[in-house]
Amino acid sequence: MRILIIGSLQGELGVAARIAASRGAMLDQAETIESGMRLLRLEARIDLIICDVSRDLPRLMAQLANERFTTAVVAAGAQDDEAAAVAAIRAGAREYLPLPPDAELIAAILAAVSTDLPSALVVRDPAMLALLAKAEQVAQSTASILITGESGTGKEVLARFIHAQSRRARAPFIALNCAAIPEALLESELFGHEKGAFSGAIARRVGKFEAAHQGTLLLDELAEMDIRLQVKLLRALQERCVDRVGGDRPIPVDVRILAATNRDLLAAIDAGRFREDLFFRLNVVALHIPPLRERPSDIPTLAQHFVDHYAALNESGDKRLSESAMARLMDHAWRGNVRELENAMHRAVLLTPGALIDADDVSIETRHVAPVANAVSARGEPGMASLVGRRVGDVEQALILETLQHCLGNRTHAATILGISIRALRNKLRDYAAQGAVIPAAHNGVAA
């Protein structure tokens, strides 16, 4: 993860920067908003901005919006300055970081906005071992690869493995979630823009293609891309050049493309939502990751891996899973796949005081369908009858926030359970926050 710090590193903001660096983040620093924007236009790999509230945060947010940047912003200011915190959130900051900084809070904030902290590649199942062997075989080529699989199976993890095994391993790996960026901004995000390309474009901006030059670009959730933009993407792949928005000449790029999706692209082609020629351009090599329920040999290995990881991260001492806990894990369907398993193990580590994690310490999402209107839920609370008299919007909000809380703030996992896109979930959370609702933040170490 790459962070741009806007403000002085001499004081408490510098302490926060060093904590972030100790968590694996790469840092850039600018004293002013002007110098920070100049750096941002040239460096498309910045994932997060942490800005001192003394640096006129509203002006920064307005400038980012005018130039079509989607980079998340965290405001940093005094712990007891409630007015500054409220003003920062109203201005559009994703979070408010109180100073002096708390290490666990910084870790949670990094996790909540991070797009490049996937789970480790831990496999034992024969099907996955065969898939990795195939991935390693094609990694040395320049061929485009289409990675498919259900949400939470680890498509980005596999993409990073391929990059690490390729001749481009020392060059940048850039991941772009096509569903997380509004359609109006995605073109600039991909291809960059020239000064004067649109109102607010006061300087040239480099896009993800140029940032990934000589490296690898992962287009995640590709099926969510608007079909009109697919035409421009296809041209970039064919010509090995990109046209910045407002540009008058093509920019040569040397990029290896990996694409990932949990959608059926052939069905999307039949429905007119995805271009067939783009599909064949990307589908030179196809790698399908089976769901976790179809590779049960991976469950024990992954479960203990996550227990070890979060026990170390939270300084909880050594922990292990009991036989009964492991049996419960093996019996679960894992609709959320590896991501659901990771969250379950994180919860177990946080909630188990001793060294042995037993079956009762493992909290797993289970869906119950009430057969009649006055049924009683698994928690002993009234079922459908309790919803009568409530507004649909209120029920939906309660469901979304409770699901997000259950997922420890992980937006991607919550969206999977709810059956909606990550973009739709984030839009709803933005609306709820504007109405004054408290939105669950990601817990320490859980990516969102």
pLDDT tens track for 233-262: 999 999 999 999 988 889 999 999 999 999
Given a cut of 50, the residues of the chain with pLDDT beneath it are 115-119, 367-385, 443-448
Round to whole Å and give the CA distance between 448 and 446: 6
Tell me if the pTM is above 0.75.
Answer: no
* pLDDT of res. 366: 54
The domains of the chain, with CATH numbers, are 2-113 (3.40.50.2300), 126-290 (3.40.50.300), 293-361 (1.10.8.60), 373-448 (1.10.10.60)
* pLDDT of res. 191: 93
Q: List, for residues 145-176, the tens digit of each pLDDT value.
A: 999 999 889 999 999 999 999 999 999 999 99
* pLDDT of res. 181: 84
Following DSSP, what letter does each residue of 162-231 receive, concatenated? HHHHSTTTTS-EEEEETTSS-HHHHHHHHH-B-TTSSTT--S-B--HHHHTTTSEEEEETGGGS-HHHHH
- Classify residue 371 by burial, with Cβ atoms within 10 Å: 0-12, 13-18, 19+: exposed
Distant-in-sequence contacts of 342-345, Cβ < 8 A, 24+ apart = 342/119, 342/302, 342/306, 342/446, 343/407, 343/408, 343/410, 343/413, 343/446, 345/303, 345/306, 345/307, 345/310
Nearest CA-CA partner of 319 in 294, 298, 341, 347: 347
* pLDDT of res. 378: 35
Round to whole Å and give the CA distance between 31 and 28: 10
Tokens 């002006």 correspond to 59
CB–CB of 295/307 below 8 Å? no
Round to whole Å and give the CA distance between 243 and 210: 10
* pLDDT of res. 388: 60
* pLDDT of res. 365: 63
Q: What is the dihedral angle through the alpha carbons of 12, 15, 19, 22, rounded to the nearest 10 degrees?
A: 160
What are the phi and psi torsion angles at 179 (to 5°)? -85, -15
